[in-house]
Amino acid sequence: MSAAPDLTLSCTVNDRMLRIDCPFCGLRDHSEFTYGGDASVEYPALDASADLWHDAVFQRENIDGVQFETWQHLQGCRMWIIVERDTRTHAIHSVRAAHDGMQAVLKKPKDPQ
């Protein structure tokens, strides 16, 4: 009989904290954020069938690699952001505002004062 595999190591981040660079507040610990889900989901029209809504809300890919996720900086600016994160390593490749209008404001050059 073989021993059960030690799964505890796969549940840690090697003593590193996952930190998210909020476009509004700067680099913060992930504990300030709330995970919102897969950012690639396209929701159906409000009057779409229950089956379409069921699939949009409950059917998710379990991606082993890079995915786009929504997070809310709940203990900070409360803004929703899109995080491009590798689910295997937790490496974050990009962060941007979830709302295109807010992202456009962030990219706009600041007026000299």
**CA angle (52, 96, 85) in 5-degree steps:** 70
Please state the closest distance from residue 38 (CB atom) to Zn ion, in A.
Answer: 21
Q: Pick from 17, 22, 34, 20: which is nearest to 77 by CA?
A: 22
Q: Tokens standing for 57? A: 């809300």
In this structure, the number of other CB atoms found within 10 A of the CB of residue 63 comes to 15
Over the window 33 to 72, marking each residue x when it contacts Zn ion by CB under 5 A and - when it does not, the resulting string is ----------------------------------------
Q: Is residue 22 a contact residue for Zn ion (CB under 5 A)?
A: yes
- Phi/psi class of residue 90: alpha, beta or left (left: φ > 0; alpha: ψ in -120 to 50)? left
Please state the closest distance from residue 41 (CB atom) to Zn ion, in A.
Answer: 23
Please state the closest distance from residue 10 (CB atom) to Zn ion, in A.
Answer: 30
Over the window 66 to 85, marking each residue x when it contacts Zn ion by CB under 5 A and - when it does not, the resulting string is -------x--xx--------
Q: Which CB, 48 or 106, lies closer to Zn ion?
A: 106
d(CA 46, CA 67): 26
Please state the closest distance from residue 90 (CB atom) to Zn ion, in A.
Answer: 19
Q: Which residues bind Zn ion (CB under 5 A)?
A: 22, 24-25, 73, 76-77
